[in-house]
Protein backbone atom coordinates (compact mmCIF):
# COMPACT_ATOMS: atom_id res chain seq x y z
CA UNK A 1 0.00 0.00 0.00
CA UNK A 2 1.47 3.42 -0.90
CA UNK A 3 2.29 5.83 1.89
CA UNK A 4 -0.47 8.25 2.82
CA UNK A 5 0.33 11.45 4.66
CA UNK A 6 -0.66 10.90 8.30
CA UNK A 7 -3.54 13.02 9.53
CA UNK A 8 -1.58 13.83 12.67
CA UNK A 9 1.62 15.14 11.10
CA UNK A 10 2.36 18.40 12.92
CA UNK A 11 4.77 20.59 10.99
CA UNK A 12 7.41 22.65 12.77
CA UNK A 13 5.69 25.98 12.17
CA UNK A 14 2.43 24.58 13.54
CA UNK A 15 3.87 24.09 17.01
CA UNK A 16 6.10 27.11 17.25
CA UNK A 17 9.44 26.10 15.73
CA UNK A 18 11.15 27.89 12.85
CA UNK A 19 9.70 26.51 9.63
CA UNK A 20 13.05 25.07 8.46
CA UNK A 21 15.74 23.34 10.47
CA UNK A 22 19.32 24.62 10.37
CA UNK A 23 20.64 21.04 10.35
CA UNK A 24 22.71 20.01 7.33
CA UNK A 25 20.92 18.79 4.22
CA UNK A 26 21.16 15.11 3.28
CA UNK A 27 19.57 13.64 0.17
CA UNK A 28 18.73 10.21 1.60
CA UNK A 29 19.48 7.69 4.34
CA UNK A 30 19.65 3.92 4.62
CA UNK A 31 16.71 3.97 7.02
CA UNK A 32 15.41 5.10 10.41
CA UNK A 33 16.54 4.60 14.02
CA UNK A 34 13.92 4.51 16.79
CA UNK A 35 14.64 6.19 20.16
CA UNK A 36 13.03 6.71 23.54
CA UNK A 37 13.58 9.64 25.89
CA UNK A 38 15.74 7.68 28.33
CA UNK A 39 14.47 9.82 31.19
CA UNK A 40 11.34 10.00 33.29
CA UNK A 41 8.17 10.89 31.40
CA UNK A 42 4.58 11.06 32.59
CA UNK A 43 1.44 10.63 30.53
CA UNK A 44 -0.16 13.98 29.70
CA UNK A 45 -3.04 15.57 27.83
CA UNK A 46 -2.59 15.79 24.09
CA UNK A 47 -2.62 19.58 24.10
CA UNK A 48 0.56 19.51 26.22
CA UNK A 49 2.60 17.30 23.88
CA UNK A 50 3.73 20.16 21.65
CA UNK A 51 4.99 21.93 24.78
CA UNK A 52 7.13 18.90 25.54
CA UNK A 53 8.56 18.80 22.03
CA UNK A 54 9.52 22.47 22.34
CA UNK A 55 11.10 21.69 25.71
CA UNK A 56 13.22 18.94 24.16
CA UNK A 57 14.45 21.38 21.53
CA UNK A 58 15.24 24.01 24.15
CA UNK A 59 17.25 21.52 26.22
CA UNK A 60 19.20 20.40 23.14
CA UNK A 61 20.02 23.96 22.12
CA UNK A 62 21.17 24.67 25.67
CA UNK A 63 23.60 21.73 25.55
CA UNK A 64 26.71 23.59 24.41
CA UNK A 65 28.91 20.50 24.74
CA UNK A 66 26.99 18.73 21.96
CA UNK A 67 26.72 21.82 19.78
CA UNK A 68 23.18 21.09 18.59
CA UNK A 69 21.77 23.44 15.97
CA UNK A 70 18.22 22.18 16.50
CA UNK A 71 16.25 19.45 18.23
CA UNK A 72 18.30 16.30 17.65
CA UNK A 73 15.52 14.11 16.25
CA UNK A 74 14.01 14.16 12.79
CA UNK A 75 10.58 13.50 14.30
CA UNK A 76 8.87 12.83 17.61
CA UNK A 77 5.75 10.79 18.30
CA UNK A 78 3.52 11.32 21.32
CA UNK A 79 1.40 8.74 23.15
CA UNK A 80 -1.67 9.94 21.22
CA UNK A 81 -0.09 9.09 17.85
CA UNK A 82 0.72 12.57 16.56
CA UNK A 83 3.93 12.91 14.54
CA UNK A 84 5.82 16.13 15.31
CA UNK A 85 8.26 17.25 12.66
CA UNK A 86 11.65 17.70 14.28
CA UNK A 87 14.60 18.37 12.00
CA UNK A 88 12.41 16.82 9.35
CA UNK A 89 13.13 14.99 6.12
CA UNK A 90 16.41 15.56 4.25
CA UNK A 91 18.11 16.86 7.40
CA UNK A 92 21.00 15.15 9.14
CA UNK A 93 20.05 13.65 12.50
CA UNK A 94 21.76 14.69 15.70
CA UNK A 95 20.61 11.78 17.86
CA UNK A 96 22.21 8.54 16.68
CA UNK A 97 25.48 8.84 18.57
CA UNK A 98 28.15 9.42 15.92
CA UNK A 99 28.55 11.60 12.84
CA UNK A 100 28.49 8.52 10.60
CA UNK A 101 25.29 7.15 12.13
CA UNK A 102 23.65 10.57 12.04
CA UNK A 103 24.21 10.71 8.30
CA UNK A 104 23.31 7.07 7.75
CA UNK A 105 19.92 7.04 9.51
CA UNK A 106 17.13 9.41 10.42
CA UNK A 107 16.02 9.38 14.07
CA UNK A 108 12.48 9.22 15.46
CA UNK A 109 11.85 9.53 19.20
CA UNK A 110 8.83 8.11 20.98
CA UNK A 111 7.80 10.17 23.99
CA UNK A 112 8.17 7.30 26.45
CA UNK A 113 10.28 6.98 29.57
CA UNK A 114 13.06 4.68 30.64
CA UNK A 115 11.89 1.54 32.48
CA UNK A 116 10.07 2.49 35.67
CA UNK A 117 10.15 6.18 34.84
CA UNK A 118 6.46 6.72 34.17
CA UNK A 119 4.99 6.03 30.75
CA UNK A 120 7.60 3.47 29.68
CA UNK A 121 5.61 1.33 27.20
CA UNK A 122 4.41 2.73 23.87
CA UNK A 123 0.66 2.90 23.28
CA UNK A 124 -0.92 1.38 20.19
CA UNK A 125 -1.60 4.90 18.90
CA UNK A 126 2.08 5.71 19.39
CA UNK A 127 3.19 2.62 17.46
CA UNK A 128 0.92 3.67 14.60
CA UNK A 129 2.45 7.14 14.81
CA UNK A 130 5.99 5.75 14.75
CA UNK A 131 5.10 3.77 11.65
CA UNK A 132 3.58 6.92 10.11
CA UNK A 133 6.81 8.80 10.84
CA UNK A 134 8.94 6.09 9.24
CA UNK A 135 6.78 6.04 6.13
CA UNK A 136 6.76 9.83 5.96
CA UNK A 137 10.58 9.91 6.07
CA UNK A 138 10.65 7.29 3.33
CA UNK A 139 8.28 9.33 1.18
CA UNK A 140 9.65 12.83 1.76
CA UNK A 141 13.23 12.09 2.76
CA UNK A 142 14.27 9.05 0.69
CA UNK A 143 14.78 6.87 3.79
CA UNK A 144 15.69 3.30 2.93
CA UNK A 145 13.99 0.17 4.22
CA UNK A 146 16.19 -0.30 7.30
CA UNK A 147 14.53 0.14 10.71
CA UNK A 148 16.73 -0.16 13.80
CA UNK A 149 17.04 0.94 17.37
CA UNK A 150 19.46 3.54 18.68
CA UNK A 151 21.40 0.67 20.29
CA UNK A 152 22.14 -0.86 16.87
CA UNK A 153 25.69 0.27 16.24
CA UNK A 154 25.95 2.43 19.37
CA UNK A 155 26.47 1.48 23.03
CA UNK A 156 23.16 2.40 24.68
CA UNK A 157 20.01 0.77 26.03
CA UNK A 158 17.86 3.08 23.87
CA UNK A 159 15.06 2.61 22.79
CA UNK A 160 14.31 0.36 25.78
CA UNK A 161 13.03 -3.20 25.80
CA UNK A 162 9.40 -2.70 24.66
CA UNK A 163 10.27 -0.49 21.70
CA UNK A 164 13.29 -2.54 20.70
CA UNK A 165 11.21 -5.71 20.67
CA UNK A 166 8.78 -3.93 18.33
CA UNK A 167 11.64 -2.80 16.10
CA UNK A 168 13.10 -6.31 15.88
CA UNK A 169 9.68 -7.62 14.83
CA UNK A 170 9.79 -5.30 11.85
CA UNK A 171 7.92 -2.36 13.42
CA UNK A 172 4.44 -3.71 12.61
CA UNK A 173 1.29 -1.70 13.03
CA UNK A 174 -0.77 -2.91 16.00
CA UNK A 175 -3.19 -5.59 14.90
CA UNK A 176 -1.07 -6.65 11.94
CA UNK A 177 -0.71 -10.39 11.42
CA UNK A 178 2.57 -11.80 12.74
CA UNK A 179 5.46 -11.92 10.33
CA UNK A 180 6.04 -15.32 8.73
CA UNK A 181 8.67 -17.51 10.32
CA UNK A 182 12.07 -17.12 8.68
CA UNK A 183 13.05 -19.66 6.04
CA UNK A 184 15.44 -22.42 7.13
CA UNK A 185 18.20 -23.78 4.90
CA UNK A 186 19.78 -27.15 5.68
CA UNK A 187 23.49 -26.77 4.95
CA UNK A 188 24.15 -30.49 4.42
CA UNK A 189 21.28 -30.82 1.91
CA UNK A 190 22.40 -27.64 0.15
CA UNK A 191 25.95 -28.97 -0.22
CA UNK A 192 24.56 -32.24 -1.58
CA UNK A 193 22.57 -30.28 -4.15
CA UNK A 194 25.64 -28.26 -5.11
CA UNK A 195 27.54 -31.50 -5.77
CA UNK A 196 24.69 -33.33 -7.51
CA UNK A 197 22.88 -30.70 -9.55
CA UNK A 198 25.52 -29.27 -11.94
CA UNK A 199 25.89 -32.40 -14.10
CA UNK A 200 22.11 -32.86 -14.16
CA UNK A 201 20.89 -29.68 -15.83
CA UNK A 202 17.18 -29.84 -16.50
CA UNK A 203 16.45 -32.50 -13.90
CA UNK A 204 13.94 -31.98 -11.08
CA UNK A 205 14.92 -29.77 -8.15
CA UNK A 206 16.96 -31.75 -5.66
CA UNK A 207 16.35 -29.56 -2.55
CA UNK A 208 13.77 -26.80 -2.12
CA UNK A 209 16.07 -24.67 0.04
CA UNK A 210 18.23 -24.00 -3.01
CA UNK A 211 15.66 -21.49 -4.26
CA UNK A 212 15.93 -19.54 -0.99
CA UNK A 213 19.70 -19.25 -1.44
CA UNK A 214 19.35 -18.36 -5.12
CA UNK A 215 16.87 -15.60 -4.27
CA UNK A 216 19.41 -14.15 -1.84
CA UNK A 217 22.15 -14.31 -4.48
CA UNK A 218 19.76 -12.59 -6.88
CA UNK A 219 19.16 -9.83 -4.31
CA UNK A 220 22.94 -9.40 -4.06
CA UNK A 221 23.08 -8.88 -7.84
CA UNK A 222 25.06 -12.08 -8.38
CA UNK A 223 22.48 -14.27 -10.15
CA UNK A 224 20.00 -13.62 -12.94
CA UNK A 225 16.31 -13.79 -12.01
CA UNK A 226 15.79 -16.44 -14.70
CA UNK A 227 18.19 -18.74 -12.84
CA UNK A 228 16.35 -18.60 -9.50
CA UNK A 229 14.86 -22.01 -10.26
CA UNK A 230 15.78 -24.17 -7.28
CA UNK A 231 18.43 -26.03 -9.29
CA UNK A 232 21.96 -25.59 -7.89
CA UNK A 233 23.51 -25.63 -11.34
CA UNK A 234 26.73 -24.21 -12.69
CA UNK A 235 25.43 -20.64 -12.71
CA UNK A 236 24.43 -20.87 -9.06
CA UNK A 237 27.85 -22.24 -8.15
CA UNK A 238 29.46 -19.34 -10.00
CA UNK A 239 27.18 -16.88 -8.21
CA UNK A 240 27.94 -18.41 -4.82
CA UNK A 241 31.67 -18.28 -5.58
CA UNK A 242 31.24 -14.57 -6.30
CA UNK A 243 29.54 -14.21 -2.89
CA UNK A 244 32.47 -15.98 -1.23
CA UNK A 245 34.93 -13.67 -2.98
CA UNK A 246 32.87 -10.70 -1.80
CA UNK A 247 33.52 -12.00 1.71
CA UNK A 248 37.26 -12.02 0.91
CA UNK A 249 37.59 -15.77 0.45
CA UNK A 250 40.15 -16.84 -2.15
CA UNK A 251 41.34 -19.97 -3.90
CA UNK A 252 39.68 -23.23 -2.84
CA UNK A 253 37.69 -21.33 -0.22
CA UNK A 254 35.82 -19.59 -3.04
CA UNK A 255 34.82 -22.67 -5.01
CA UNK A 256 31.06 -22.01 -5.00
CA UNK A 257 30.26 -24.78 -2.51
CA UNK A 258 28.48 -23.24 0.49
CA UNK A 259 30.17 -23.24 3.87
CA UNK A 260 28.54 -22.48 7.20
CA UNK A 261 30.08 -19.04 7.74
CA UNK A 262 29.41 -17.69 4.26
CA UNK A 263 25.88 -19.14 4.20
CA UNK A 264 25.08 -17.76 7.65
CA UNK A 265 26.17 -14.30 6.54
CA UNK A 266 24.01 -14.57 3.42
CA UNK A 267 21.07 -15.69 5.55
CA UNK A 268 21.55 -12.84 8.04
CA UNK A 269 21.36 -10.38 5.16
CA UNK A 270 18.32 -11.96 3.52
CA UNK A 271 16.16 -13.45 6.23
CA UNK A 272 16.89 -17.16 6.44
CA UNK A 273 18.53 -19.28 9.14
CA UNK A 274 21.00 -22.12 8.66
CA UNK A 275 20.92 -25.57 10.21
CA UNK A 276 23.30 -28.50 9.74
The stretch 8-21 carries a mean pLDDT of: 94
User: Is 184:273 a contact under the CB 8 Å cutoff?
Assistant: yes
Q: Is the pLDDT of residue 203 over 80?
A: no
Contact yes or no for 108/76 (Cβ under 8 A): yes
Residue range 22-53, pLDDT digits in tens: 999 999 999 999 999 989 999 999 999 999 99
- pLDDT tens for each residue of 205-252: 678 899 899 999 999 999 998 888 888 989 999 999 999 999 999 999
Tens digits of residue pLDDT in 116-149:
999 999 999 999 999 999 999 999 999 999 999 9
Task: Give 231-241 pLDDT, tens digit per residue.
Answer: 898 999 999 99
pLDDT at 179 (0 to 100): 58
Give the model confidence (pLDDT) of 72-123 as tens digits.
999 999 999 999 999 999 999 999 999 999 999 999 999 999 999 999 999 9
Residue 106: strand pairing partners: 32
Assigned architecture for domain 9-168 = 3-Layer(aba) Sandwich (3.40)
Higher pLDDT, 191 or 176: 191
pLDDT of residue 207: 85
Domain limits, the chain: 9-168, 183-275
C-alpha distances out from residue 103 to 40, 62, 213, 265, Å: 28, 22, 32, 25
How much is the pLDDT for 164? Answer: 96
Amino acid sequence: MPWRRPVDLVRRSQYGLPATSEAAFIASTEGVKVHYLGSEYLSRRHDLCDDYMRAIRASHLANKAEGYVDIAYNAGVCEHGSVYEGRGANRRSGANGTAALNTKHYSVVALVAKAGGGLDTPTDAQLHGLRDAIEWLRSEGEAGDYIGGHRDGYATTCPGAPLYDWVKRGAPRPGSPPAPAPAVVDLSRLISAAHADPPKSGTPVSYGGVRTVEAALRAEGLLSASLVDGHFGTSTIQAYAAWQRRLKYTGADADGIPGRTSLTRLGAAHGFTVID
